[in-house]
Amino acid sequence: MQASKLKQAILSGGLDEALAGLYGAATQAERQRYAELVEKFIGTFGDRDVAIFSAPGRSEICGNHTDHNHGRVLACAVNLDILAVAAKNDDARIRVASVGFDAIDIDAAALSPDPAEQGDASAIVRGVAAGMAARGCPVGGFDAITVSRVPAGSGLSSSAAFEVILAKILDTLYGDGALDPTEAAKLSQAAERDFFGKPCGLMDQMACACGGFVAIDFADPASPAVERLSFDPAQHGYRLFVVNTGGSHANLTGDYAAVRAEMGAVARYFGKEALRDCDEAGFYANLPRIREKCGDRAALRAMHFFAENRRVERQEAAIRAGDIDAFLRVANESGDSSCMYLQNAYAIAHPAAQGVTLGIAAARHLLGGAGAARVHGGGFAGTMQAFVPEAMCEHFAEEMGKIFGKKAVYALDIRASGPCCLAW
């Protein structure tokens, strides 16, 4: 659809059904948000035939740092999203102008990793295009403009949302529109790992690509088992919150890499690739030798993995049984283990900056034994997560806002869909 006509259609309610499916209601604020992005596209790239897309951020519910060692996770897509307006071009360039970030311009035919791009968003664009090409999708040029409500560096997977929306754009403009969510997640992970240079697991991309509330088992990482669960904490009188406690993930690649490396060192002690393949009883029987070979922190992080993997199973069972109290107990246990054993509540190089730990402590104080609070996502900086009784939500948001800023407190809804094209 021509961009100017799409803008008019949005403002006149032509996308209301699609918007209501994503946000619960097609409010004037959402119409205006979409229309403004189309107008930015026109101002940047001209009034051309365009498609408009949305992809969600995600919240990890349980399974902190288990995915990269072939463990289990629970996660959900959330209503904070990234939008994109995109159009084909004829000059074989991929240009992405993201509001608030430097513009990206790459050759759509040059899809090998470029070491000079590591750590730059252009590497992700190139990596996603390379992944689509490897799966047989014709890759051509396109111009796109994006805007995101998923805060960068917050632990809500702004990078994964960006990756899966790029894959959706290419699949829509040049493919058959039927890219499997698992394949979208895997190629997005490869882009972040092999092109951008961040050693990440697959959970973020999988949750963003699948949408809804999902249980994921990475026992076979090449073909993870994904099951959608019918669960919403609101049905049990609780609201999901995340609080951006400050700090950026930008300079924490080494901290994340150390978690994976140390867990991997314990696995290799047993001649295995990942901790999921190791016997827990054998681990404890060999603990004195593991301390010598791998170090105390590696041993503690392995302890976290074994127990966290079981916690995912217990929390999934609580969901199936409709037992919200058991669900919340596991959430708190997960948070305690991340702080004590996994040790990803703060970066060891900056011990004075402990926003995540402070956020968990403040949240639990406010909740007074109700609800739950835990480390969220990669950790070391960024967000903490809380499940808050509906009657306490206003007070919780107000008090946490006093500590971290009003704009740092997010009450989230679970989004049913992954990346989608709303109009073309």
pLDDT for 250: 60
Q: What's the angle, vertex CA 67, arms to CA 172 and CA 188, rounded to 5?
A: 20
**Stretch 35-56: mean pLDDT:** 98
Q: Point out which residues pair with 374 in neighbouring strands.
A: 385
Predicted pLDDT at 247: 73
Euclidean distance between CA atoms 83 and 92, whole angstroms: 23
Orientation angle between helical segments 253-269 and 296-321, nearest 10 degrees: 90
Contacts of 46 (CB under 8 A, 6+ apart): 3
State residue 248's pLDDT score. Answer: 63
Q: Is the pLDDT of residue 397 over 90?
A: yes
Return the pLDDT at 55.
98
Q: What is the mean pLDDT of residues 26-36?
A: 96
Q: What is the pLDDT of residue 249?
A: 58
Quick check: helix, strand or coil at residue 134?
Answer: helix
Residue 327 reports pLDDT greater than 70: yes
CA 190 to chain centre: 15
Q: Which residues contact 254 (CB under 8 A, 6 or more apart)?
A: none
Q: What is the reported pLDDT for 129? A: 98
CB 61 within 8 A of CB 232: no
**Mean pLDDT of the 310-321 span:** 97
pLDDT at residue 278, as a whole number: 98
pLDDT digits 0-9 by tens, 330-358: 999 999 999 999 999 999 989 999 999 99
Please, is 176 exposed, middle or buried when counting C-beta atoms within 10 Å of its C-beta (0-12, 13-18, 19+)?
Answer: exposed
What percent of the chain is modeled with pLDDT above 90?
A: 88
**Residue 268 confidence (pLDDT):** 98
Element (H, E) at 18: helix 16-23
pLDDT at 325 over 80: yes
180-215 pLDDT tens trace? 999 999 999 999 999 999 877 788 899 999 999 999
Rounded Cα–Cα distance for residues 170 and 174 (Å): 6
Supply the DSSP symbol for 390.
Answer: G
Residue 33 CA to residue 37 CA, distance in Å, equals 6
- Pair of tokens at residue 402: 């006093």
**Mean pLDDT, residues 158-164 taken together:** 94
Confidence of residue 152 (pLDDT cuts 50, 70, 90): confident
Q: Residue 155 has what pLDDT?
A: 67
- The pLDDT, as a whole number, for residue 282 is 98
Q: pLDDT by residue (tens digit) across 235-293?
A: 999 999 999 998 765 678 789 899 999 999 999 999 999 999 999 999 999 999 999 99
Q: How confident is the model at residue 222 (pLDDT cuts 50, 70, 90)?
A: confident
How far is 117 from 129, CA to CA, in rounded Å? Answer: 15
Tell me if the pTM is above 0.85.
yes
CA 236 to chain CA mean position, Å: 24
The answer on pLDDT for 153 being more than 70 is: no
DSSP class of residue 2 equals: B
Residue-wise burial string across 77-113, b where 16 or more C-beta atoms lie within 10 A, e elsewhere: bbbbbbbbbbbebeeeebbbbbeeeeebebebeebeb
What pLDDT does 200 receive? 76
Long-range own/partner contacts, residues 97-103 (CB < 8 A, 24 or more apart)? 97/40, 97/44, 97/144, 97/145, 97/146, 98/145, 98/146, 98/147, 98/148, 98/162, 99/37, 99/40, 99/145, 99/146, 99/147, 99/148, 100/147
- What value does the mean pLDDT take over residues 168-183? 95
What is the average per-residue pLDDT within 136-141? 95
